[in-house]
Structure 1
Amino acid sequence: MQRRKFLIGMGSLAAGSAAAMGTGAFETAEAERTAEVNVAADSSGFVEIQALNDTYASGTSDGQLELDFNSDSDLGIFPGDAEGLNPDSTYNFGELFRISNISGTGDMRVVIEASGFNLESLELTASGEEAVAISAGTSLRVDDYSDVDNIPKLVQPDGVDVEATIETKGSTDNDAGGTLTIHAATGGNRDMLSDVL
């Protein structure tokens, strides 16, 4: 298996407004207003995502976090001509990246959705004891939850380190990687995460 590239990103956030107009003396009105929106890199957004293990995790040119388990990373553990993970094997990668609640809006529920992977299994779990309300070993995969009230919670300010266990299939694959999407909602809006459960 030569390529093991995982791209992590946040889902889009959209803001909109609607106004209900009663019966008034005019039919239409138009007013221009300015709105400022900063799109920040993963490492400095409301939900901060930062690399912890620079052998496998790094930022891309557009500010997203990328996990790379191929020859470009030198795999660190077996330097030389390594081209990727072995087939029919299980690898554990501790403390790859951290997800932090720096939004200033109180508690936040957070889960990770994995898509496009050609692996036997991919586990994403909390690592270490940094998070106040998330125990080490807690699954962060959205597939493991059916109730938004059970989704892991990050208090504010708080963060959780993420580790991965990757089990490969029995044959080589140059493109077994996929995309990880981190879904987050403030505590009072956690019902909005029911769409991804």
Structure 2
Amino acid sequence: MANRRKFIAGLGALATGSAAAVGTGALETSASERTVNVNVAADSSGFVEIAAENSTYASGTSDGQLELDFNSDSGLGVIAGDAQGLNPDSTFTFEEVFSVRNGAGQGDLYVVIEATGFELENIELTAEGSEADDISGGTSLRAEDYSDTANVPKLVQPDKVDVDMTIETKDDGTTGNVGGTLTIHAATGGNQAKLSDVLGSDS
């Protein structure tokens, strides 16, 4: 059985000034800030469990969704919440933001994350690696990076994988909401081929 869980991700206004005072451990590879609002529509079957791993960025909502905030809603800044967004023409890495767990009870799952609609230079979704037996650190989880379903990352039962996010913003004057959608696609071994329609252009 193939399974999909969807994130609605909104990246808000690009901050163009004084974000350098923000930092203090909130960003692993940058001292500046910018926005990502990610809401996860909870899957009623629970085959693929998605959870917050870093309380600075991630929290659960009252309707069972996961929300990720890399904007003023995260409370970051010299004065809480005064960091408005990521700077243009910059790269930011956020470690262990959320996790994906194989809770299907049907053996191994093959998992990729489809990113669509973002007005960014690039977005990377990679495995942190320490929690998953068969997915090593740095492995891409982004569907676009695969052309063959045989190479899609395998999440053995009942493992989880923590997801790192790297966001690269454009240098074209783009401001405002530059978000898109993240959809987690998972399939059991017998349905692995059904992931082919969301893989890279060569699939």
Scaled to the shorter chain, the TM-score interval is: 0.7 to 0.9
Q: Hey, what does 2:175 align to over in structure 1?
A: 173
What secondary structure sits across from 1:92 in the alignment?
strand
**2-structure distance, mates of 1:153, 1:94:** 21
Q: Which has the larger radius of gyration?
A: 1
Per-residue Cα deviation, 1:67-102 (whole angstroms, up to 9, x for no partner): 221111123xx4422101111111110000110001
Q: Hey, what does 1:18 align to over in structure 2?
A: none
What secondary structure sits across from 1:130 in the alignment?
coil
Q: TM-score, normalised by structure 2?
A: 0.75
| Alignment check: 8 A CA contact 1:126 1:139 kept | yes
Q: Does 1:120 align with 2:121?
A: yes
| Alignment check: 8 A CA contact 2:48 2:102 kept | yes
Aligned-partner residue type, residue 39 of structure 2: L
Per-residue Cα deviation, 1:47-72 (whole angstroms, up to 9, x for no partner): 11000011111223432222221111
Structure 2: unaligned runs, 5 residues or longer: 1-13, 16-34
Q: Hey, what does 2:36 align to over in structure 1?
A: 4
Structure 1: unaligned runs, 5 residues or longer: 13-38
Per-residue Cα deviation, 1:94-123 (whole angstroms, up to 9, x for no partner): 000110001110010000011121111100
**2-structure distance, mates of 1:94, 1:185:** 25
Deviation at 1:162, TM superposition (A): 0.2
Aligned-partner residue type, residue 189 of structure 2: G
**2-structure distance, mates of 1:107, 1:168:** 35
Runs of 4+ in 1 over 6 A off after TM superposition: none
Q: TM-score, normalised by structure 1?
A: 0.77
Aligned residues: percent identity? 64
**2-structure distance, mates of 1:93, 1:82:** 16
Q: Following superposition of structure 1 onto structure 2, how do residues 99-114 of structure 1 map, counting pairs within 5 Å?
A: 99-114=100-115
Q: Hey, what does 1:17 align to over in structure 2?
A: none
Deviation at 1:172, TM superposition (A): 4.7
**2-structure distance, mates of 1:130, 1:46:** 18
Q: Following superposition of structure 1 onto structure 2, how do residues 1-197 of structure 1 map, counting pairs within 5 Å?
A: 1=14, 3-9=35-41, 39=44, 45-75=46-76, 78-80=77-79, 81-170=82-171, 171-197=173-199
**2-structure distance, mates of 1:194, 1:172:** 33
What secondary structure sits across from 1:133 in the alignment?
coil
What secondary structure sits across from 1:181 in the alignment?
strand
Aligned-partner residue type, residue 36 of structure 2: R
Deviation at 1:8, TM superposition (A): 3.3
